[in-house]
Amino acid sequence: MEVPEYETDLDLSEEEKEAVDGALVAFVGYIKTINRVFSSGGTDMKGIDTFAAKDSLRSLKDSANGLKKEDKYMAGEYDYYNLRIHETTLDSKSPEKDSVKILFCSHDSKHAVVKTGKSMPSQTSKSLTILQTASKHGGKWKISNQELWSEKCE
């Protein structure tokens, strides 16, 4: 999987750049997983733990179950732009504590949860800034947490 372009104000060491690359591969995989699972109405759960762990995995499962239960799906697509590396934490003694915090913008108006069979409603343009935390699980980078950073793209 290709590593997307990003910006950072951090002066990254080679080790940190390698960590960022691994985290961004997980990031892209996680976004693709969200789109696949949610557009299927929560029925396509194959490999959801490949790029998700901890809170993110729990949230993904809960959301998928909610979609199935309510006979809904996500119309449109969850996207990302303006990727920024906010923070890196590397622990040479305990690599499982390594983490990379990724800030990005997403067009919140380009997707919507709707009743199965319905199409994407027209919505007012809106973007959000989201913070995702990637961390190592079993030696692999996965998205372990996601939270709203701002109600607009910063």
Mean pLDDT of 16-43: 97
Grade residue 148 by pLDDT with cuts at 50, 70 and 90: very high
Q: How far apart are CA 134 and CA 149, in angstroms?
A: 16
pTM listed for this prediction:
0.94
Worst-scoring range by mean pLDDT, 23-32, 38-47, 115-124?
115-124
- How high is the pLDDT of residue 96? 81
Exposure string (b/e) for 26-56, b if CB count within 10 Å is 16 or more? bbbbbbebbbebbbbbbeebeebeebbbeeb
Q: What is the pLDDT of residues 61-70, one digit of tens each?
A: 999 999 999 9
Domains of the chain in sequence order: 7-150 (3.10.450.240)
